[in-house]
Amino acid sequence: MSQPANTCWPTPDQTLLLRAALLKGQRAVDAWEQWREVVDFRDIDYGSQRLLPLLYRNLLDQGVRSSLMARYKGIYRHFWLSNHFLFYHTKPVLSALHEAGIGALLFKGAGLVVAGNLDYALRPMDDIDFLVREENAQTAIDIIRKLGWQPKAEHAADFNPTAHAVMYHDGKGHYIDLHWYSLTQALTGKHEAGYWERSLDAKIDGIPVRCMGMTDQLIHTCVHGIRWNPIAPIRWIADAAVIFENKGQPVQWEHLVAHSKNLHVTLPMLQGLRYLKTEFNMPVPDYVLRSLENAPVSYQEKWHYQLSVRKNLPVFGGFILQVVRYWAYQRKQYPFPGFLRYLQRKWGVRYLWQVPFEGVLRIWRNIRIEVFKQDPASIPMHSIFHE
């Protein structure tokens, strides 16, 4: 398997694949022919693998005939089946939440599939993301636990206002990601209310749900996608294309600009929309780019952006990013000693004085993983300081 890039932006090979999957006509075919010449099919990174169903459908639409199409079709069918299983196993959770009077707002991949009535194969998912209102988060957690789902992190049993979500698994390879905040940049409920007001009615096999509106989806897609991840996060570009193709709910550009300013995410939005317009000719108005470019950006936000889009520095990189994220987005919420209180809540330790010791344990864990190359799965995240 090829190694991940050092930034979140597509490599030249990944750019060719994206063009082959998203463009039309001869431009798509030419990009595909270049891509297959330079990429060993046995060495495709997982981020690129998740684009192959989209590639297959697009090449089929362009009338391409090749022996490789049968292989692409097999991958298409694999993701179609895995997504159906994922939704099937998630339905009891959504049903139980609905019966308890707790609304579930689907977003990211699940929201695009349901709201856009997409073919299940075209948007591969490793989990289903949904949002509940902040005041319902603990009740939702209790319901999910009663259904037999377990948190991926052992100490994530209760609502944590310094986190934005918690992931659960059913022990059968299926995952759900329960959110009470949609983004790590905005860990308060004041921004989340609007998502519900602008959301869309939908159903999954008769179970009422909500889906995030397309404009809010585009903001989340860009901000969440434009950050480094060991799995190449290039899927956000294909998601943006799906949003632009949704004629039933066109992007509301004035709202996008205003909400991006409120969230203090104008920098990733500017870079993301500029990239989509320049590289894929997506219909982003010039005045929107100018508005985002002229928006004030603090130096803390600039640092956070620069650190987010690049691979973390060894050992201390994740901690440095945490410091900058707190300073840029959360410091007003925590009184003196603010950062220590923030870490206490985020790490789930019992007492404030234990925070430095927990930090040392986490640094030692990073050293064991990054320096001594130990398997992260063999080193649990919990410690004696957790509540």
* Share above pLDDT 90 across residues of the chain, in percent, rounded to a whole number: 78
Alpha-carbon gap, residue 96 to 333, rounded angstroms:
33
CATH topology of domain 89-250: Beta Polymerase; domain 2 (3.30.460)
- Residue pLDDT, tens place only, 354-381: 999 999 999 999 999 988 888 887 777 6
Q: Is the pLDDT of residue 1 over 50?
A: no
**Residue-wise pLDDT tens digits, 171-207:** 999 999 999 999 887 766 667 778 999 999 999 999 9
How many other CB atoms sit within 10 Å of the CB of residue 52? 23
Mean pLDDT of 8-24: 97
pLDDT mean over 46-62: 97
Find out whether 133 and 192 touch, Cβ atoms under 8 Å.
yes
How far is it, in rounded angstroms, from Cα 127 to Cα 108? 10
Mean pLDDT for the stretch of residues 158-182:
91
Q: For residue 387, what pLDDT is reported? A: 55
Interior CA angle at 123 toward 120 and 127, to 5°?
A: 90
Delimiting residues of CATH 3.30.460.40 domain(s) in the chain? 89-250
The pLDDT score that the predictor gives to residue 175 is 97
Q: Of all residues in the chain, what percent carry a pLDDT higher than 70? A: 95
Predicted pLDDT at 157: 66
How many helices and strands in the chain, by DSSP H and E? 17, 7
Instruction: Write down the pLDDT at residue 44.
Output: 93
As a whole number of angstroms, the distance between CA 171 and CA 385 comes to 26
Q: Which stretch of 19-28, 99-108, 241-250, 345-354 has the lowest confidence by average pLDDT?
A: 345-354
Q: Locate the DSSP E strands across 37-127.
A: 105-106
pLDDT at 188: 64
Does residue 78 sit in helix, strand or coil?
helix
The mean pLDDT value of the chain amounts to 92
| Residue position matching structure tokens 């169903």 | 53
> Does the pLDDT at position 145 exceed 50?
yes
Residue 11, pLDDT > 70, answer: yes
The model's pLDDT over 260-275, given as tens digits with 9 standing for 90+, comes to: 999 999 999 999 999 9
CA distance 339 to 325: 11
- pLDDT tens column, 280-327: 999 999 999 999 999 999 999 999 999 999 998 888 998 999 899 999
18-22, long-range: CB < 8 A, 24+ apart:
18/51, 18/234, 18/237, 18/238, 18/280, 19/280, 20/55, 20/58, 20/59, 21/51, 21/54, 21/55, 21/58, 21/238, 22/54, 22/58, 22/237, 22/238, 22/241, 22/280
CA 115 to each of CA 128, 242, 243, 252: distance values in angstroms, whole numbers, following the listed order: 14, 11, 10, 17
